[in-house]
Amino acid sequence: MAQLRLDFSEFEKRNAVILVVGPEDAPAFARYWREHDLTFTGLPDPEHTVLNLYGQETKLLKFGRLPAQIVVDKAGKVRSIHYGQDMTDIPSNSEMLALMDEVNAG
């Protein structure tokens, strides 16, 4: 999430809304957001309800939920999904920004 904060203004320029869904309960999530001064929206999902809808995997041997990046356009259509194979498998901000440019151009 720290990488998203670095380029938050670039995402805003593209009218992108960042929503981070995490496995913690609401108090833990709120505490994390305050401690890390995150400027985007966080959604606690301790029951895995939201990301199960998008097919995100949970692997106990790989520390729980694997990363997933989902791009949904303004019409609500899923334009891209990246499921990480491990905790470091996260697209770079430049990749995500290029995808935003592509979605906005279409």
pLDDT value at position 62? 52
pLDDT value at position 87? 81
pLDDT value at position 59? 64
pLDDT value at position 2? 77
85 to 26, 29, 33, 58, 65: CA distances (angstroms)? 27, 24, 25, 11, 10
90, 11, 29, 58: CA torsion to nearest 10 = -30
* pLDDT tens-digit readout, 9-61: 999 999 999 998 888 899 998 999 899 888 888 899 988 898 888 887 766 66
* pLDDT tens-digit readout, 51-91: 888 887 766 665 567 788 888 888 889 889 898 888 888 99
Domain-wise residue ranges, the chain: 2-105
Query: pLDDT tier at 96 (50, 70, 90 boundaries)?
Result: very high
Q: Which two tokens stand for residue 40?
A: 């985007």
Q: Quick one: fold of 2-105?
A: Glutaredoxin (3.40.30)
